[in-house]
Chains A and B, each alone.
Chain A
Amino acid sequence: MAHGAKHVYTVGNEGREVFWNAPYELILFAFTAVAMAIFAYGLYRRWQLWKAIGKPEDRTDNAGARIQSLISNGLFQIKTFRDVYPGIMHALIFFGFFVLIFGAAIDATQFHIGLPFFHGSFYLWFSLIMEIFGLAVLLGVVIAVYRRYIEKPDRLGYMGTPDNTADDAIVLTLIGSIIVTGFLIEALRLYVNVNVDGFTWGMWSFVGYALSKTLTGIGYDTARVLHKWMWWIHTFIVLGFIAYIPWSRLLHIITSPANQYMMSLKPKGYLEPIGDFETAESFGVGQLEDFTWKQIFDSEACTRCGRCQDGCPAYLSGKPLSPKKVIQDLKTYWLERAPVVLAAQKAAPEGEEPQIPEPEKLMVGEVIDLHELWACTNCMYCIEHCPVCIEHVPKIVGMRQYKVLMEADFAPELQLTYRNMENNSNPWGIGAHLRQDWAPELGVKTLAEDANVEYLFYVGCSGSFDDRGKKVAVALAKILKEAGVSFGVLGAEEGCCGDSAMRGGNEYLYQILAQTNIEVMSGYGVKKIICMCPHGYNALKKDYPHFGGNYEVYHHTEILADLIAQGRITFKKSVEGLFTYHDSCFLGRYNDVYDQPRNALKAIPGLNLVEMDRSYAKSFCCGAGGARMWMEEDIGERINDMRTDQAIAVNAGTIAVGCPFCLTMMADGIKDREKEESMDALDIAEIVWNAMGIEEAAEEAPSGEAPPAEETSEAEAPKEEPSE
């Protein structure tokens, strides 16, 4: 029997009897036990599946940071709010449910143990709060239904087709009916309580109270019977909900926070290096078993919210890749495979290898189409915005590694790029000995000539070989000289950073390139490095430490912002026109360098900076990352053209960038859109150097750039500058 003897509720001692009119404690317990058993069994079964496939990986270290992630991503829903509208929708349901469950717990405690304060003003406020949050959940469900079934945003689907499942409808119906039946019980109770028992404080439960006012005409005994029925309906829905959790998308109530807790604490964009080329038998991810358990578990946390898809440059430009689809396809495949593997493991005699049947479908090529696999620009939008901390990019790179390293089956143009990187340490295959020739007239010393400098200027392939990139390298070198920064270069000893190889799945080549560079850099005792390409910057900063290359690495926009702040760069000229800054993925999302490039631009007199629709963490990729720079883009629209359109939309005259890949892509986009007359793409170093006003008409572009104005004269430089 209920604890807490019968109370007399009056004004001043407001309250109510929990389980009023529903004296079914034992039956309820029995049903609850059944529901909990179904829940527990479901979870146990899932747990077994989670354990069935996947390589080991430790995701429980550093509990402090993990709890922090759980609080900010889970409890406070930080990332869901980055998208306000669906963020509010989810928050209404999430916080509403959270409070309601808390309330139910208070109810239960009151019923079983008795709460000395469960009356009077506590009770009134408690009732009001429950009412508000109940309404919040209902509102959330209404918005969710509206979004999913009427508004149908693209991200709740794939390529224009909604991916709604019966499960979605069931879950929304369950949640909605829990609240509705809850309110109805309340209305029926209040109808009796207020009118018969004189609970004048009934209006604190304002929803139920308002509903109860519509019941006039029903006899009080009928109301009591109806209340009992409704109570049972409500109870069964709630128990059904609990039992349904492990078997439905509701599982994310468990898996999402778990995934948030187990989020990667590695630097953003981290890729685990392959350790043993000599002894390993397989490389990369060719089948599910090659993923870690956590990589598979990611798909269990996915709720198909589609935030990843919403900013994916590949998806938005009409390519088949959607990060959401990849995760979901892997989940479907895993759900086919895991029971088979589990059964085989159970059938295997103790101490023997289980006989696992071959999968019917190839994971890489059939489950995940190769066009999807190779469309990824590694822009990291998906990871950055996934509210449940799913890591999409490492999976894609892992599968690319399998195609490249194991099967050597990948785009011929990328093969060419890799051969070029192997033979001449640059993607274009220009003679490696020409690397030092980007600006012989500047007299920048190599470390071989003078290693006693503060910074190594790691020029990178673009700055060394590409005529357009060379202009940026020259501008930067001039600024550094002017600002009195002590720096040197590696000249012909420099090599390709390897980023494109790594992200394109050729880890072997990448490690060779990285180790070659590290050997040279460490040989000179390099401590600080300035990179003008965010790809090199990211690789040197985050990936080279794996191979013993530990340096302080800066991107040139960080250095420029710093020099400006210190007053070591001053501007003599002011600039005109509207500028917009395009965030490079490898600067912004990978390294949180958002403000320094903008600060450098804003410091220039007269510079008018306008933000594009997608900027900062939501910036839209130029299309060149993840080795896409070296591949054909023959499906859908060109990503760089789309980004250019975004700049055109804000009437920018100049697209300022901090990355030579972006520079190429934006310049191409401007040409594709036939805006060469009115628009330009410039690196921040070029804009800064120009505004410093040191170089007036006298200076010419770097040698070999412009065609000779006069027909052949003695003074002309030969076609190719001989190397020193």
Chain B
Amino acid sequence: MKRNRTALAVVRKTGRGVLVMLLVTLAIVVLMASAPGSVAEVILGQNATKANVAALNKELGVDKPVFEQYTQWLSHALRGDLGTSPLTHQSVTTAIAERLPVTLELTVLAVLMALVLAVVFAVACASWPGSPLDRALTAVSSVFLSVPAFIAGPVLIYFLSVRLGWFPVMGWTPIGAGFGENLRAAIMPSLSIALVEIAAFHRLLRTDLIGTLGEDFIGAARARGMSRAYVMFRHAFRPSSLSLVTMVGLSIGRLVGATAVAETLFSLPGLGQLLITSIGSRDVVMVQGMVAFTGIVCVAVNTLADIGYGVVDPRVRRVAAA
């Protein structure tokens, strides 16, 4: 009975994820088709004749109706073949596999930094709400919230690389070439995209913590003589982190866009950079494959966040399965 309901919930969530994937990939085909220019023009260059362009378009199959292009792509994609770029002649899956480690590391590092800093900030603020410390930290996070990565990046480069020389100005060192060096290359780009997330997580958790600390069960735990730190971390933290779990799930989607900015800014060989160059050269195959891939990641992460709900709050376990 209980198992049936859980299974049903999993099926329903998976179904929803598949639907999202179909819509996203379809939307990309339509958008790319309606954008001016084509990959044939990019390949053949400025001096190509119209006839040449049309011939190449026919060869690449981009002259067919949009829907036919899409079903064709889909039937290949379902078999794990995301196609080959007509421009670079590289298989899309290979290109993704090559660049994924960079983007993955940036994203994971950004989420980790954002979580650690936000938790420290939020706990400090919620412990003394309305205090000068609370107001100062909230002001700092307001600044973070309003500084986009393309401004935070150059500022960080100026101070931490140019003036202090702690980190390289740009470029990437793979993990294989030494963990320390790799981390040095990754920290600044991650931090520049993490700032907004720090602020968002901090504000959310601070408000939820203050709300929770006013609950009767916190008073009851204090009345049992439990220490401040124990009450904060063993009683208040978990019930306060529900919305944070959702927020982290959503932020991973946002970070995919943000990594594109950071990778361009710091010249890192990641997915975001490839995506931007591919869009510029109207490389539909490459764009399509990458969108499909990041879509799967986003859907998976948000499903994980849903499951995380149940781990954090036992009351959700039933509801989620219902």
A-B complex is real: no
Give residues in B with beta carbon < 8 Å to A. Answer: none
Give residues in A with beta carbon < 8 Å to B. Answer: none
